[in-house]
Structure 1
Amino acid sequence: MSAPLLYSNVTPMRGEAAAQWFITTFAVNGWSGAWRGPIDEAPHYHLNSHKVLGIFEGEADLQFGGPGGQVLRVRAGDVVVIAAGLAHAMIAASDPFEAIGATPGGLRPDLHYGGGAPAPAPLRPRADPVLGPGRGFVA
Structure 2
Amino acid sequence: MPIDRRRFCSMLTILAAAPFSPLTRAQSREVAMERISLPKPAHGVPNSHYPVLLYHHVIPPDTADNAAYLEHLFMANGWPPQWRYPVYPFTHFHTTTHEVVGCYAGAARLQLGGEHGPVHDIQTGDVLLIPAGVGHKQIAANKEFMLVGAYPAGFSPDLCRDEPALLATRTKAVQEVPLPKSDPVTGHNEGVVRYWAAP
Q: Does TM, normalized by the shorter one, top 0.5?
A: yes
CA gap of 1:72–1:112, structure 2 versus 1, over 3 A, is: same
Partner residue of 1:87? 135
Partner residue of 1:136? 191
Partner residue of 2:7? none
Q: Considering Cα pairs closer than 8 Å and 6+ residues apart, tell me whether 1 or 2 has the greater RCO.
A: 1
CA gap of 1:65–1:15, structure 2 versus 1, over 3 A, is: farther
Task: Pick the aligned partner of 1:18 from 55, 58, 66.
Answer: 66
Counterpart CA distance in 2 for 1:122 and 1:134 is 21
Partner residue of 2:42? none
SS of the equivalent of 2:84 reads strand
Are 2:157 and 1:102 aligned? no
Give the letter aligned to residue 12 of structure 1: P
CA gap of 1:38–1:112, structure 2 versus 1, over 3 A, is: same
Counterpart CA distance in 1 for 2:65 and 2:81 is 18
CA gap of 1:69–1:14, structure 2 versus 1, over 3 A, is: farther
RMSD, aligned CA: 2.1
TM-score, normalised to structure 1, is 0.91
Regions of 4+ moved over 4 Å: 13-16
TM-score, normalised to structure 2, is 0.65
The structure carrying a bigger helix percent of its residues is 2
Counterpart CA distance in 2 for 1:46 and 1:14 is 34
1:96 Cα deviation from its structure 2 partner? 1.6
The percent of aligned pairs where both chains have the same amino acid is 37
1:44 Cα deviation from its structure 2 partner? 0.1
The answer (yes or no) to whether the contact 2:63–2:69 under 8 Å persists in 1 is no
Report Cα offsets for 1:59-78 as digits up to 9, x if no partner.
00000011110111000011
Are 2:110 and 1:46 aligned? no
1:15 Cα deviation from its structure 2 partner? 9.1
Counterpart CA distance in 1 for 2:105 and 2:78 is 23
The structure having more radius of gyration, on CA atoms, is 2
Give the letter aligned to residue 122 of structure 1: V
Give the letter aligned to residue 139 of structure 2: I
The answer (yes or no) to whether the contact 2:102–2:125 under 8 Å persists in 1 is yes
Task: Pick the aligned partner of 2:105 from 57, 72, 76.
Answer: 57
The answer (yes or no) to whether the contact 1:14–1:56 under 8 Å persists in 2 is no
Counterpart CA distance in 1 for 2:141 and 2:66 is 18
